[in-house]
Amino acid sequence: MTTPTAAAPTTPSRRLVRVPSLETTAAWLLAIVWIFPLLYALWAAFHPLAFMVRFDLLAPLTLDNFTNAWNQAPFERYYLNTFLLVTGIVAAQFVVCTLAGFAFARFPIPGKDTLFMLVLIQLFVFPEVLIVENYRIASGLGLVDTITGIGLPYVASAFGIFLLRQTFKTIPRELEDAARVEGCGWMAVLLKVYVPLAKPTYLAYGLVSISHHWNNFLWPLVVTNSVESRPLTVGLGIFSAPETGVNWATISAATLLSIAPLLVAFLLFQRQFVQSFLRAGIR
């Protein structure tokens, strides 16, 4: 579209001296304010503690804070746990939500609309809202302090079922019929026709789910109680709790360590991330 800026009458003289417009200045100021906390965390992590609030361009750079953080908490274990958790959840969500989405899109199940509304309730009632009872259920199933216990409540995601149902519904029946004429069963139809055509949805949903579960905190905090199962967020939360007395430069480094993989992935694949959030958000 022609943009609001373009609509403003820009006088030629202004262009000549290149004075940024008020709007440009405001946009940039806001951007600086917005990115500042992250830049500050970088500053704090790469400089000795003495320079936390002394902004000296010649301050010595150091990696000590990262070494300290790495030595003071089992970050390699936390990385492994988060990695297992996130891949496990996304894989399980893909399977469960694909089956359910397919059923809702194509099968004549009695009371289907009511069932679907029931599923959509989970868009509002999240596992973390029900921490008290979910903890009891997880402990009844022997899942407390396991990675499965953190992930399982999120596997049947209403959001995933909804997205895949919408996508499957847009796929022309003729494609399905063609496959069936060739003698494909339902599973083959699903795997050969529907799933490949829904690839963009899987990518979008996968990225949203990865960032959600990489960052999730409350339920993992409640359901874990040892290093063996804690994900990065919980490890970081415990490490940086004020009562531990760990110094700030180290906490900064630990914070960056925890967010680095997702942040780097985001910076590299910005467009895909933003597109995914959009695709997944707009219903």
The reply on whether position 268 binds another protein by CB under 8 A is no
For another protein, which stretch binds (CB under 8 A), given 72-80, 171-179, 192-200, 267-275? 267-275
Binding-site member from 80, 84, 115, 227 for another protein (CB under 8 A): 115
d(Cα 78, Cα 86) in Å, to the nearest integer? 12
Conformation bin of residue 241: beta by default, left when phi > 0, alpha when psi is -120 to 50: beta
Q: Which of 53, 29, 32 is nearest to 43 (CA)?
A: 53
Can you spell out the DSSP letters for 24-76?
HHHHHHHHHHHHHHHHHHHHHHHS-GGGSS---TTPPP-SHHHHHHHHHS-HH
For another protein, which stretch binds (CB under 8 A), given 40-48, 66-74, 175-183, 191-199? 40-48
Number of residues that make up the chain: 283
The reply on whether position 2 binds another protein by CB under 8 A is yes
The reply on whether position 34 binds another protein by CB under 8 A is yes
The reply on whether position 12 binds another protein by CB under 8 A is no
Nearer to another protein, 34 or 174 (CB): 34
Q: 45 to 84, contacts with another protein by CB under 8 A?
A: 52-53
Q: Min. distance of Cβ 270 from another protein in angstroms?
A: 6
The reply on whether position 1 binds another protein by CB under 8 A is yes
The reply on whether position 181 binds another protein by CB under 8 A is no
d(Cα 94, Cα 160) in Å, to the nearest integer? 8
140, exposed or middle or buried, with CB in 10 Å at 0-12, 13-18, 19+? exposed
Buried b (16+ CB within 10 A) or exposed e, 69-90: bbeebbbebbbebbebbbebbb
The reply on whether position 96 binds another protein by CB under 8 A is yes
Q: Min. distance of Cβ 189 from another protein in angstroms?
A: 11
Binding-site member from 126, 180, 197, 272 for another protein (CB under 8 A): 126
The reply on whether position 245 binds another protein by CB under 8 A is no
The reply on whether position 242 binds another protein by CB under 8 A is yes
For another protein, which stretch binds (CB under 8 A), given 61-69, 70-78, 194-202, 273-281? 273-281
